[in-house]
Amino acid sequence: MKRLFILTCLCLLTSRFCDQAYSQHVVLDWENTIQGNGPVLGSGKESMLQVLKLNSNRLLLSCFTGSQSGYDKTMNTDPILPHVTGEWLYMIDSKGNKIWDRDFWGARGVPNGLSKISADSLVMTVTTREYTPVYDLTDTFTLPRNGYTSYATWTVGFDTLGNKQWDKTFDIGMDSTYQVPNTNPGIPFEICMYDIKAKNGKVFQFGRATPQPTMIGGDVIPNNCLIASPNDFGQLYPGPLKYQDMLLYQLDPKNPAKYEWQHLYGGDSSDVGFRMLPLNDGGFLLAGVTTSNASCNQTVSVHNKPHWDWYVVRTDSVGNPIWQQTYGGNNKDILTGIIDAGNNNYLLTGFTCSPQSYDVTGSSVNDTTIWMLMIDSLGNKLWNKRYGGCNAVFFDYNILGGGSAFEYPIQNTIEGITTSDSGYLFIASVRDSLPCGDVSEPGKGGYDYWLLKLDALGNKLWDKRYGGTLDDYAEHVVEMSPGHYIVGGISKSPIGGDKSEPSLGTTDMWIIAVTDTLLTTSIQQQSFTQAYSIVVSPNPSKEFFTINTTATDASQKLNLTIFNSLGKEIKSIKNISSSQTINCNGWSAGIYLLKFTDSNGRVGSKKIVKE
C-alpha cells in the first residue's frame, strides 16, 4: 500500500485567507487499492458492499469477489471451481494496514450486510443462488430448486478473527400454479435481504420477497393479497401476481435454527425494503420504495403511479406497523438511507428525478439530484433540501432495474452518517460535472467519489472529489475519530489522479482516508488552551516580539512554526523557552500565524501583526 501524506494549510489568519485555502482544509491522508489475483483465474471483480467500524482502530470490509488468491487475497473464492464468485472479508486498521482476510465458501453469493452482535461476535447476510450444503454453508434449505436458480438468503455468524460460529438459510417457497417444463412442483420465487442489524443479542434482516398466495413451502409466509393487475414476470406467469413486498424478520443467534417472527409490508404493486433503523423503544423505522396504492396492508398510496416513491414504515418491537408514509414528487424517487438525527427526528436520504411537486420542494439544477428529508417521530415533514451540480450525474446502479440490481440494488448510491460536530457527511458517485451548484471541483476522470458535508440543518459546509482517470464509485463512509473519515468503494482506475496503485481486474476495492483539518484543529486547540497560557507582546510589532508561555505540565516543551499569510513557513524553533523573543525586523508587513505543538499532539495558534 502506498500512502500520501499531505501537509495541511491552517486557515486561522483572516476570513479572506480562509477563503483562499478553503479547498485545502479537507485533505487526503492515505489511499489503498485492495485486490485479488483476478486476471489469472477469476473474473477479477471486487465490489465492496460495506465498511463496518468495529472500534477506533479496526474496520471490516465485505466484498463480492471473483478473484482467486494472490496480491491482497490469501484464499481462493472456491477450493475447486476457479471462476465462481463469493464473499470476501478483509480487516484493516485505521491506517489501512491489513490485519486478516478470509473467504466464506459455499454460498457463492453477494454479502449485502454486516453487523456487530457483541464485542467478539459478528454477523453477515448473503444473497445466494446455491441450495446444496457445502463447505461453510452447512444449513439445509427447505425446498430443492429442481434446477431453477432463484435468490435466497444465507446468514453466517463469525468471530472477530473470521472464524465461523453458526449459519442459517432462509428461502422462499415455490408456486405450483405456474408450471415450467421439466420443473416440478413449480417455479421458486425470490428473497433478497439488503440490510442486517443486531440489537440486544438478536439479529434482524430487511429486504424484499416475492410471496404469492399460491406459494407452498419455504420460510417466508405467503401473501394472501392477490392483485388482479398486469404482472411483471412476462410469459412465465400468465395470471395476476403480487410482485414483491418488504420483508422484516428476527432470529436468535443462540438458536439460529428458528426464526422468531417475520412481517410483510406492501400494497398492490412492488414494494422493496432497503434500510432499517433500530429505535430505542425496540421498534424499527423501515425505509424503502413503493409503486403501490393503499391496499393489502399498505395504508398509504404512491403519488404518481407507476413512478417509485419513498416508503417508510414505523413498527413496534415485533414488527407490527404503527404508521406508514410515502414521500416523493411526480417522477421517480429512490430512498436509499435513513439516519438517526437525534431528538426523535430522522433524516431520509436518496435521489429524486422529480421537479417541484408534492413533497419535493426547491429548484433543481439537474434532472437527478440528491434529496434529503427530515421527519419527526410521527413521520411529519420538517424540512427537505436538494443537492447537485449543473451537469452532475449521480450513479444509482440502475436501481430496481432488474438483473444484478436484485442482488445488491443500493450499491453505488448515496450514504450518510452523523458526525461528531452534530452535522452529516454524505458520499455519492458523481460524473462529468464542472464546478457548478453544490459540486465545487472538476472531475478527475469518469465517476468520482463525492463527499458532501452538511451542518445539522442541511446547509452545505464543503464538498470534495477523489478519483482516478476512469470510474470510481463511493459506497460507504465511517468516522474513525472527530474529523477523520474513511470512505470505501470500488475502482476501475489505473495509476493517476488520486490513485497510486494500478487496477488488476475489472474492479478493485479502493479505500481513502480524509481529514477535515478545520474540525481536528478546533478540537486540538480546545485541548491546547486547557494545557497552556500564551501571551505574545508587543502585538502589533515592528522589530521584536516575546512569547511568554505558562504550562500546567512544566515538563512539556513546545515547538513553534511561523507562517506568512500565504501559508509559507518562514521560521521553525524546537523546544521554545518559557519567554522566547523573536526578531521580526526583516519581515514584510502583514499578518503571521504562530503554530504551537507539543509531544501529546495538542495544537495551538496565535496571530502576530508585523507593522
CA 52 to chain centre: 9
- Pairing type for strands 284-290 and 245-251 reads unpaired
Q: Can you tell me which residue has the cell 450486510?
A: 113
**Rounded mean pLDDT, 498-511:** 89
pLDDT(241) > 60? no
- Radius of gyration of the chain measured on its C-alpha atoms: 27
Residue tagged 478519483 (cell numbers): 467
Omega prior to 185 cis, within 30 of 0 = yes
Most confident of 16-20, 34-38, 262-266: 262-266
Residue 23 DSSP one-character state: G
Determine the Cα–Cα distance for residues 503 and 63; give it in Å rounded to an integer: 16
Distance CA 166, CA 180 (A): 35
34: left (phi over 0), alpha (psi -120 to 50) or beta: beta
Q: What are phi and psi of 167, to 5 degrees?
A: -150, 160
Cα-based distances in Å from 340 to 81, 337, 393 = 43, 10, 27
Stated pTM of the model: 0.80
Cβ atoms of 336 and 351 closer than 8 Å = yes
Reduce the DSSP state of residue 372 to 3 states and report it.
strand
Taking the C-alpha atoms of residue 100 and residue 86, their distance in angstroms, rounded to an integer, is 17
DSSP label of 24: G
Cα–Cα distance list, 34 to 56, 91, 411, 490 (Å): 21, 11, 18, 9
Q: Which amino acid is at 218?
A: G
Helices (H), strands (E): how many in the chain? 2, 39
Point out which residues pair with 516 in neighbouring strands: 26
- C-alpha grid cell for residue 391? 451537469
Q: Is the separation of the CB atoms in 281 and 317 below 8 Å? A: yes
What pLDDT, on a 0 to 100 scale, did the predictor assign at position 161? 95
Tell whether the model's pLDDT for residue 230 goes beyond 50: no
Q: How far is CA 261 from the centre of its chain?
A: 28
- Once rounded to an integer, what is the mean pLDDT over residues 452-470? 92
Q: What angle do CA 459, 460, 466 make, to 5 degrees?
A: 155
Q: Report DSSP state, residue 366.
A: S
Cβ–Cβ < 8 Å for 346, 339: yes
Tell me: pLDDT of 526 over 80.
Answer: no
CB 488 within 8 A of CB 510: yes
Answer whether 353's CB lies under 8 Å from 398's CB: no
Task: Return the pLDDT at 13.
Answer: 34
* Pair type for strands 172-175 and 202-209: unpaired
Tell me which residue of 333, 335, 275 sits closest to 306, measured CA to CA: 333
How high does pLDDT run on average in the chain? 81
Strand-pair partners of 415: 427
Q: Which residues make Cβ contacts (< 8 Å) with residue 525, sequence separation at least 6?
A: 603, 604, 605
pLDDT at position 40: 44
What pLDDT, on the 0 to 100 scale, is given for residue 535? 93
Q: What is the pLDDT of residue 77?
A: 73
Contact in structure between 46 and 489 (CB atoms under 8 Å):
no
Q: Are strands 271-278 and 259-265 parallel, antiparallel or unpaired?
A: unpaired
- The answer to whether the CB of 91 falls within 8 A of the CB of 102 is no
Count CB atoms within 10 A of the CB of residue 7: 8
* Phi/psi of residue 519, nearest 5 degrees: -75, -45
> Looking at residue 180, what is its pLDDT?
43
Which among 564, 565, 556, 547 is positioned nearest to 599, based on CA atoms? 556
pLDDT of 233 higher than 60: no
Q: Which residues contact 285 (CB under 8 A, 6 or more apart)?
A: 276, 277, 279, 312, 313, 314, 315, 338, 346
Can you say whether the dihedral through the CA atoms of 488, 53, 486, 369 is positive or negative? positive
Give residue 215's pLDDT: 65
State the DSSP H helix or E strand holding residue 391, giving kind and residue range, or none if neither: none
Residue 223 clears pLDDT 80, i.e. is over it: no
pLDDT of residue 398: 45
pLDDT at 450 > cutoff 90:
yes
Burial of residue 545 (CB within 10 Å: 0-12, 13-18, 19+) is: buried
* pLDDT tens digits for range 573-602: 999 988 999 999 999 998 898 988 888 778
What is the predicted pLDDT for the residue at 282? 94
DSSP codes of every residue in 479-526: EEETTEEEEEEEE---SBTTB-S---SSBEEEEEEEEEHHHHHHHHHH
Of the pLDDT bands very low, low, confident and very high (cuts 50, 70, 90), residue 85 is: confident
- pLDDT computed for residue 89 by the predictor: 94
Greatest distance between any 2 Cα atoms in the chain: 96
Overall average pLDDT of the 383-412 stretch = 60
Q: Which of 146-160, 290-304, 321-335 has the lowest mean pLDDT?
A: 146-160
| % of the chain residues with pLDDT over 90 | 43
| 117-164: pLDDT as tens digits | 999 999 999 988 776 778 888 887 765 554 445 678 889 999 999 999
C-alpha to C-alpha distance for 293 and 86, rounded to whole angstroms: 38
3-state SS record for 554-599:
CCCCCEEEEECCCCCEEEEECCCCCEEEEECCCCCCEEEEEEEECC
Q: Is the pLDDT of residue 286 over 90?
A: yes
SS3 per-residue string spanning 166-186 = EEEEECEEEECCCCECCECCC
Alpha-carbon separation of residue 562 from 105, 525, 570, 574 (angstroms): 57, 16, 6, 12
**Domains defined for the chain, CATH in brackets:** 30-522 (2.130.10.10), 531-610 (2.60.40.1220)
